[in-house]
């Protein structure tokens, strides 16, 4: 065992050395430093919090190399696979590390959520363990598509979803009246796109070809469920479908009325004159059925729509449970800062979306985006910790009292607020 760690365990170092250790500032090899930090994080009441800050913000390339190394000390691996300490960027590597015990994977399989479940389903090590697959199958956080994939793995068969389109579409769009025009299966997301956007789409699909292929025919499934998206789509459809006609010819008025206006005033009294159907523009109806349109697209189609489509379509696709589709929204040349400011507040998006926002320089320079991310309890801890240094004093004060974010964030916000409030500091 490393000598410095032995000294720390024996309480044979000074307070100053302990603080340096908790900040990761000792001159020791990287792996040894991490082992020391894990020990302090789990055993020191005074310096544990600082050690957890340091671990959460540890350099990603270095952390990845250590997470993938079978010779990494067990204490470090156990710390990183603990649910409260999981970093998404390390998770796939940890799943394949043979030094991570299968019992740990079973515990994760039983309680993980969202993107972590997708990573477990894709893991060769998980796929080869019947016990872990059974644990995963009993996880109540599985979505319908995830549960079907896990069941297929348990039964040793390929996952197929012959009725993906019907499952992806909202119930109200599965059996439209024959009088309402239905979109063709191969409908294009949009009709005209500028060359810059076309180039961006082509580059994105080429760059992420392997990830797209790995997802197969995964249908659209919104994070957090479809309710919010359905309400939005219905509101859009309503605003286009019930606009009054420019003028109603007298010949269309029901018997007993003198003008077309009177006919519109009493549509329910004449079953032979369904006013809404008469005046619905098929194109408006089609544009209003945003979810129906998305539900009929495969992954590549949704990626194209995410980058070429409208603001309303992006607001739904950013919640796509397929990570590569959701991330395509952020790469759209058409996306505005205002949209990203809103995305940064959302709790019903993948953590990968919140992690990717500040990685784009344009958004990282937008203070409203940074502030919204830090105040969002869904934002990964290491991302929030890295952004807090840029926050204004007033926001740090508000953050310190925000009970929705983690205690770690609140305590650090309070400390930074006090530091910046001292005379001569800002």
Check pLDDT > 80 for residue 208: yes
Check pLDDT > 50 for residue 68: yes
Q: Pick from 237, 244, 249: which is nearest to 283 by CA?
A: 237
Q: What are the residue ranges of helices labelled H in 47-194?
A: 48-56, 60-68, 74-81, 88-96, 102-111, 114-122, 124-127, 130-137, 144-154, 164-168
Check pLDDT > 50 for residue 97: yes
Show the tokens assigned to 19: 């603080």
> Which is more confidently placed, 361 or 177?
361
> What's the confidence (pLDDT) of residue 379?
94
Question: How far is it, in rounded angstroms, from Cα 170 to Cα 361?
Answer: 37
> What's the confidence (pLDDT) of residue 260?
41
With 0-12 / 13-18 / 19 or more C-beta atoms within 10 angstroms meaning exposed / middle / buried, residue 234 is middle
Cα 277 from chain centre:
38
Q: Are 56 and 406 in contact (CB under 8 A)?
A: no
SS3 content of the chain, % helix, strand, coil (to 5): 65, 0, 35
Q: Among 108-117, 251-260, 283-292, which range has the highest average pLDDT? A: 108-117
Q: Among 166-175, 230-239, 271-280, 305-314, which range has the highest average pLDDT? A: 305-314
With 0-12 / 13-18 / 19 or more C-beta atoms within 10 angstroms meaning exposed / middle / buried, residue 317 is buried
Per the prediction, the chain carries an average pLDDT of: 79
Residues 205, 207, 213, 214, Cα dihedral to 10°: -130
With 0-12 / 13-18 / 19 or more C-beta atoms within 10 angstroms meaning exposed / middle / buried, residue 342 is middle
> What's the confidence (pLDDT) of residue 226?
53
Q: Residues 20-42: what's their mean pLDDT? A: 92
User: What secondary structure does DSSP assign to 252-272, as a single string?
Assistant: GSPTT-SSHHHHHH-GGG-TT
Q: Residues 158-180: what's their mean pLDDT? A: 46
> What long-range pairs does 61-65 form, CB within 8 A, spacing at least 24?
62/30, 63/87, 63/89, 63/90, 64/89, 64/90, 64/93
Q: Are 248 and 264 in contact (CB under 8 A)?
A: yes
Q: Give the pLDDT band of residue 331 (cuts 50, 70, 90).
A: very high
Q: Are 388 and 394 in contact (CB under 8 A)?
A: no
CA angle (378 as vertex; 390, 402 as ends), nearest 5: 65
Compute CA distances 248 → 67, 178, 241, 254, whole Å. Answer: 70, 24, 16, 11
Check pLDDT > 70 for residue 309: yes
Show the tokens assigned to 406: 């983690």
Q: Residues 108-130: what's their mean pLDDT? A: 90
Report the sign of the C-alpha dihedral through residues 142, 144, 146, 150, in that order.
positive
Question: How far is it, in rounded angstroms, from Cα 319 to Cα 108?
Answer: 24
> What's the confidence (pLDDT) of residue 326?
94
Q: Are 39 and 5 in contact (CB under 8 A)?
A: yes
Check pLDDT > 70 for residue 421: yes
> Which is more confidently placed, 21 or 178?
21
Question: How far is it, in rounded angstroms, from Cα 224 to Cα 230?
Answer: 12
Condensed to tens digits (0 to 9), the pLDDT of residues 211-243 reads: 888 887 788 888 876 544 444 444 444 443 333
> What's the confidence (pLDDT) of residue 197?
83
> Which is more confidently placed, 8 or 186?
8
Check pLDDT > 70 for residue 342: yes
Lowest mean pLDDT among 75-84, 273-282, 362-371: 273-282
Enumerate the β-bridge partners of residue 27. Answer: none
Residue tagged 């800002």 (tokens): 426
Check pLDDT > 60 for residue 169: no
Question: How far is it, in rounded angstroms, from Cα 247 to Cα 294?
Answer: 34
Check pLDDT > 60 for residue 385: yes
Q: Are 20 and 56 in contact (CB under 8 A)?
A: no
Show the tokens assigned to 123: 């893991």
Check pLDDT > 50 for residue 173: no
Q: Are 355 and 382 in contact (CB under 8 A)?
A: no
Domain ranges within the chain, ordered by starting residue: 3-164, 195-229+287-421
Lowest mean pLDDT among 89-98, 232-241, 358-367, 386-395: 232-241
Question: How far is it, in rounded angstroms, from Cα 317 to Cα 334?
Answer: 14
Number of Cβ within a 10 Å radius of residue 259: 11
């Amino acid at each position: 065992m490393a000598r410095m760690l032995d000294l720390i365990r024996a309480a044979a170092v000074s307070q100053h050395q302990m603080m340096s250790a908790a900040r990761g500032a000792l001159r020791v090899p990287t792996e040894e430093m991490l082992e020391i930090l894990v020990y302090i994080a789990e055993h020191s009441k005074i310096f544990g919090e600082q050690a957890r800050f340091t671990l959460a913000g540890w350099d990603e390339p270095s952390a990845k190399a250590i997470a993938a190394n079978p010779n990494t000390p067990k204490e470090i691996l156990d710390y990183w696979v603990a649910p409260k300490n999981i970093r998404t960027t390390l998770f796939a590597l940890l799943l394949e590390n043979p030094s991570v015990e299968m019992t740990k994977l079973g515990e994760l399989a039983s309680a993980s959520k969202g993107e972590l479940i997708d990573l477990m389903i894709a893991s060769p090590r998980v796929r080869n363990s019947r016990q872990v697959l059974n644990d995963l199958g009993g996880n109540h956080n599985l979505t319908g598509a995830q549960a079907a994939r896990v069941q297929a793995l348990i039964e040793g068969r390929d996952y197929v979803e012959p009725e993906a389109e019907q499952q992806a579409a909202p119930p109200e769009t599965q059996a439209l009246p024959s009088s309402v025009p239905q979109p063709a299966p191969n409908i294009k997301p949009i009709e005209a796109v500028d060359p810059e956007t076309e180039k961006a789409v082509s580059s994105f699909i080429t760059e992420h070809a392997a990830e797209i292929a790995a997802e197969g025919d995964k249908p659209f499934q919104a994070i957090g469920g479809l309710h919010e998206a359905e309400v939005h789509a219905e509101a859009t459809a309503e605003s286009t479908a019930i606009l009054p006609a420019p003028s109603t010819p007298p010949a269309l008025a029901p018997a007993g009325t003198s003008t077309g206006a009177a006919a519109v005033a009493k549509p329910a009294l004449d079953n032979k004159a369904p006013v809404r159907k008469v005046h619905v523009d098929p194109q408006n109806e089609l544009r209003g059925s945003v979810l129906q349109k998305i539900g009929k697209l495969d992954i590549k189609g949704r990626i194209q729509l995410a980058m070429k489509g409208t603001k309303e379509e992006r607001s739904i696709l950013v919640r796509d449970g397929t990570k590569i589709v959701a991330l395509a929204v952020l790469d759209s040349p058409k996306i505005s800062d205002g949209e990203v400011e809103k995305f940064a507040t959302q709790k019903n998006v993948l953590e990968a979306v919140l992690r990717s926002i500040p990685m784009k320089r344009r958004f990282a320079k937008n203070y409203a985006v940074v502030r919204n991310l830090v105040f969002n309890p869904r934002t990964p801890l290491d991302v929030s910790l890295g952004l807090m240094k840029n926050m204004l004093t007033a926001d740090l004060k508000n953050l310190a009292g925000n009970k929705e974010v983690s205690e770690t964030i609140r305590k650090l916000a309070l400390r930074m607020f006090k530091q910046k409030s001292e005379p001569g500091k800002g």
